[in-house]
């Protein structure tokens, strides 16, 4: 069915410009062939919840793209049929949820943001792209840059925390890491920004739920990371599931066309999330799938993930005049442009055995370990319990995470192998001197409701000098469709911790989770607490290095850690209450303050901040104002500090948050040394705010500047 051997088509000539190749191919396509390019299926789709291609009279391999699960022969077989059994020989593009690594698994994304090291994020995405591309994944559904401050929502594990500015910086780093200098390289993939937008505001933290967000909140909180990542050159975007303010994003013309295309100039394809077009019916916005396709296409959707609505109904809608053929051509043009940019027409197949070199893999494992080390957040360290001192001879390692290799990988570990994970036990055994005894007891499982293992765990604790208690969540307790109503540790883990604490032995609590967990009952009983999140393949090495003092913890929280679920929402950039931060309006049963605030994290050393110095007390539009602070390491060991610069606009025509992160910098500071941190303030970039129309507003007046417990102010002049 392909073009005859003697035919030379311009679109097959790699020497031609991409735009010319796209237009040539587009001119040859029928409306049904265009519809098939808009459809995305799954390689060997056997999901009974999905409409099967044979039921709609189509041959699956003619579709434009596939979701793919790391089986090269199956992928190449589907590609061979797409090329050889379609009239025009258009290859498919293969996408996958490569979220925090491919084979080598890096820490979950929330953990990565706690390292506050964009360069490590870029490098991790770059290596993930290299591994993914070698098995035939040209397109990843990552990064997830949904801002959220609700830890009940399971997908908080996939994002970069609650700061729009922080998420913008990390989103930019991820885009550069995945896509490199050119998409045609064997070491790069096209990335997908998701989920556009305000998905992180789902009511009650329930996945797929309705979101009600004011226009101001939309522009100040949820859109900035997407705008930054679009400017960084992201190749594609995924629309979010949520019904936003009464118009599901899948059919939201304002977001998908007016903002994304007209305002930001985004050129790449927009793909729906899984089954989202048919879910417009469930959401009460479309009467049936046919109408759902019409609404989605006219709003600006280019690719339909897994519902096959385009191949079923698009030709009918065009013929009826319900979807303009120009809108169809626009969508297909974007899809083909991406394929040509990726070089898929010239290199459609994945090569079996084309793997990463051992030397490069070794370096990547060190990268994964470094990122994990820097993501660990020391929450408590009473009496310098950590690092573990030399006199400690007997250590009890207790809890469901102690020897676990699978769940420390976290949700969305694409092609990882649990048996290659370094567990906490393994990491400690390799790092501890031979004179130290390390014994383990599980105590309980993640979800156990019985205390059968407590006695053995308590007995081991009593026989030890120090207890390392490893508690947390299974990997599937966070991620998609993994919301929780309570932040308490699952099962009887909290009861196990309290029983161990009763022994009177010093306890180091390690929390392995995909979200903040409730610690208000445990915190007073523990001598040290370390949030390790779900650190990935190199878990044990990273944890051991920090516990033993080979590495000084430098992680800082990228999301506020509540005392209880009842405090939600609670986040650093909230607005003031009508009676300010007084006792009025606070909870009667617990403090209103969080357990641990945004940016919190301890070190094995201490840092002192000097007063802030400003080169001027005023700044004008178009000008700059340089602020500096000197940070001194006042302890006895080297450490790294993260300088967080916050601003507050006390009086504005639209009330502003208590504080907003505007700049951060991480730097190593040797013991006894000092480092100057500098923030060059640009009023239009750093001091303006957005109104409900998304316009930038810069008003004259006083601005407060805060860092490390220091505060000063300056004035913006007209």
- pLDDT tens for 308-355 read 999 999 999 999 999 999 999 999 999 999 999 999 999 999 998 889
For residue 123, what is the DSSP state? H
Say how many C-beta atoms besides its own lie within 10 A of residue 45's C-beta. Answer: 16
Give pLDDT tens digits for 15-54. Answer: 999 999 999 999 999 999 999 999 999 986 554 444 444 4
Please state whether beta strands 625-633 and 674-681 pair in parallel, antiparallel, or not at all (unpaired).
antiparallel
What does the alpha-carbon distance between residue 254 and residue 267 come to, in Å, rounded to a whole number?
A: 16
Q: Considering 36, 150, 273, 448, which one is annotated as catalytic?
A: 273
Q: Specify the pLDDT at position 7.
A: 61
Tokens describing residue 558: 């990228």
Q: How far apart are CA 53 and CA 62, in angstroms?
A: 10
Contact of 113 with 164, CB cutoff 8 Å? no
Share of the chain above pLDDT 90, in %: 92
Closest CA to 1 of 22, 30, 27, 23: 30
Average pLDDT over residues 147-161: 98
The pLDDT score that the predictor gives to residue 391 is: 84
Cα dihedral: 113, 118, 119, 122 (round 10): 80
Is 273 a residue of the active site? Answer: yes
Mean pLDDT of 418-433: 97
- Do strands 236-239 and 270-271 pair parallel, antiparallel, or not at all (unpaired)? parallel
What DSSP string describes 279-340?
Answer: HHHHTTS-SSHHHHHHHHHHHT--BEESS-HIIIIIHHHHHTTSS-HHHHHHHHHHHHHHHH
Share of the chain above pLDDT 70, in %: 96
Sign for the pseudo-dihedral over CA of 428, 434, 435, 438: positive
442-498 pLDDT, tens digit each: 999 999 999 999 999 999 999 999 999 999 999 999 999 999 999 999 999 999 999
Tell me the pLDDT tens digit for each residue of 182-203: 999 999 999 999 999 999 999 9
Band the pLDDT of 111: cuts 50, 70, 90: very high
pLDDT, one tens digit per residue, over 663-698 is 999 999 999 999 999 999 999 999 999 999 999 999
Residue carrying structure tokens 């930038």:
696
**pLDDT given at position 3:** 47
Domains and CATH numbers, the chain: 10-342 (3.20.20.300), 368-552 (3.40.50.1700), 607-716 (2.60.40.10)
Q: What is the pLDDT of residue 586?
A: 85
Distances (CA, A) of 42 to 64, 309, 348, 487, 532: 11, 15, 17, 35, 34
Q: 119 pLDDT exceeds 50?
A: yes
Task: Please count the CA atoms within 13 angstroms of the CA of 658 that sit on its side-chain side.
Answer: 12
- Cα dihedral sign, 508-509-511-512: positive
Report DSSP state, residue 220. I
For residue 444, what are the contacts with CB-CB under 8 A and spacing of at least 6? 399, 400, 450, 451, 452, 453, 454, 457, 491, 492, 493, 496
Q: Would you place residue 208 in the very low, low, confident or very high pLDDT band (cuts 50, 70, 90)?
A: very high
Q: Tell the burial category of 55 from Cβ atoms under 10 Å away from its Cβ (0-12, 13-18, 19+).
A: exposed
Predicted pLDDT at 85: 84
Q: Pick left, alpha or beta for residue 205 (phi over 0 → left; psi -120 to 50 → alpha; otherwise beta).
A: left
65-67 and 39-42 strand pairing: parallel
pLDDT at 307 over 70: yes
pLDDT at residue 45 in the model: 58
Q: What is the pLDDT of residues 265-303, one digit of tens each?
A: 999 999 999 999 999 999 999 999 999 999 999 999 999
- Token pair, residue 331, equals 């969508």
Question: Does the model's pTM come out above 0.85?
Answer: yes
Task: Tell me how far apart the alpha carbons of residues 542 and 374 are, in angstroms, rounded to a whole number.
Answer: 9
State the pLDDT at residue 444: 98
What gap in Å lies between CA 677 and CA 647, rounded to an integer?
16
Mean pLDDT over each residue of the chain, to the nearest integer: 95
At 2 the pLDDT is 43
* Better pLDDT: 114 or 582: 114
Mean pLDDT, residues 377-395 taken together: 95
């Amino acid at each position: 069915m392909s073009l005859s051997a003697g035919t030379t088509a311009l679109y097959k000539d790699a020497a031609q410009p991409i735009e010319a190749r796209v237009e040539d191919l587009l001119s040859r396509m029928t409306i049904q062939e265009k519809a098939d390019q808009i459809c995305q299926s799954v390689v060997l789709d056997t999901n009974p919840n999905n409409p099967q291609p044979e039921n709609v009279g189509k041959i699956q391999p003619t579709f434009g793209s596939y979701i793919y699960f790391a089986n090269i022969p199956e992928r190449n077989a589907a590609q061979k049929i797409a090329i050889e059994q379609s009239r025009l020989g258009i290859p498919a593009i293969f996408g996958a949820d490569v979220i925090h690594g491919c084979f080598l698994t890096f820490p979950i994304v929330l953990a990565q943001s706690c390292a506050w090291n964009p360069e490590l994020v870029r490098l991790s995405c770059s290596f993930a792209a290299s591994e993914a591309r070698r098995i035939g994944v040209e397109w990843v559904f990552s990064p997830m840059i949904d801002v959220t401050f609700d830890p009940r929502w399971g997908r908080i594990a996939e994002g970069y925390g609650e700061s729009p500015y922080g998420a913008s910086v990390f989103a930019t780093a991820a885009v550069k890491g995945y896509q490199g200098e050119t998409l045609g390289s064997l070491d790069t993939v096209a990335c997908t920004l998701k989920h556009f937008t305000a998905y992180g505001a789902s009511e009650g933290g329930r996945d797929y739920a309705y979101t009600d967000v004011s226009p101001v909140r939309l522009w100040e909180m949820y859109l900035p990371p997407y705008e930054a990542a679009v400017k960084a050159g992201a190749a594609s975007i995924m629309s979010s599931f949520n019904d936003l303010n009464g118009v599901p994003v899948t059919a939201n013309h304002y977001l998908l066309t007016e903002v994304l295309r007209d305002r930001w100039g985004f050129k790449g394809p927009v793909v729906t999330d899984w089954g989202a077009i048919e879910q417009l019916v469930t959401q009460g916005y479309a009467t049936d799938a046919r109408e759902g396709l019409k609404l989605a296409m006219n709003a600006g959707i280019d690719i339909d993930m897994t519902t096959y609505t385009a191949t079923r109904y698009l030709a009918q809608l065009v013929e009826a005049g319900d979807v303009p053929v120009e809108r169809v051509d626009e969508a297909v043009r974007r899809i083909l442009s991406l394929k040509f940019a990726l070089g898929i027409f010239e290199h459609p197949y994945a090569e079996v055995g084309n793997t990463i070199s051992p030397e490069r893999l070794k370096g990547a494992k060190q990268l994964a370990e470094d990122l994990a080390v820097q993501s660990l957040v020391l929450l408590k360290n009473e009496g310098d319990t950590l690092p573990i001192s030399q006199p400690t001879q007997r250590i009890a390692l207790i809890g469901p995470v102690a020897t676990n290799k699978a769940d420390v990988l976290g949700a969305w570990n694409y092609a990882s192998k649990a048996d290659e994970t370094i567990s906490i036990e393994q990491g400690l055994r390799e790092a501890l001197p031979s004179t130290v005894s390390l014994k383990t007891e599980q105590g309980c499982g993640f979800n156990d409701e019985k205390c059968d293992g407590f006695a053995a765990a308590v007995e081991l604790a009593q026989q030890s000098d120090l207890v390392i208690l490893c508690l947390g969540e299974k990997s599937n307790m966070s991620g998609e469709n993994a919301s929780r109503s309570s932040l308490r540790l699952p099962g009887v883990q909290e009861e196990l911790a309290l029983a161990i604490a009763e022994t009177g032995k010093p306890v180091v609590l390690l929390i392995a989770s995909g979200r903040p967990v409730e610690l208000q009952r445990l915190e007073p009983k523990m001598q040290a607490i370390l949030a390790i999140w779900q650190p990935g393949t190199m878990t044990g090495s990273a944890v051991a290095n920090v516990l033993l003092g080979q590495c000084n913890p430098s992680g800082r929280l990228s999301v506020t850690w509540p005392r209880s679920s009842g405090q939600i929402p609670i986040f650093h950039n909230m607005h003031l209450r009508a009676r300010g931060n007084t006792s009025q309006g606070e909870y009667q049963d617990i403090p209103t303050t969080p357990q641990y605030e945004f940016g919190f994290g301890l070190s094995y050393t201490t840092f002192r901040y000097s007063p802030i110095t400003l080169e001027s007390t005023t700044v004008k539009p178009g000008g700059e104002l340089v602020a500096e602070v000197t940070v001194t390491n006042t302890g006895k060991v080297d450490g790294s500090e993260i300088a967080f610069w916050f601003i507050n606009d006390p009086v504005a025509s639209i009330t502003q948050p208590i504080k907003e992160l505007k700049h951060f910098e991480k730097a190593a500071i040797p013991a006894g040394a000092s480092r100057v941190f500098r923030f060059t303030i640009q009023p239009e970039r750093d001091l303006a705010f957005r109104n409900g129309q998304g316009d930038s507003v810069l008003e004259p007046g006083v601005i407060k500047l805060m860092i490390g417990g220091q505060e000063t102010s300056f004035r913006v002049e007209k």
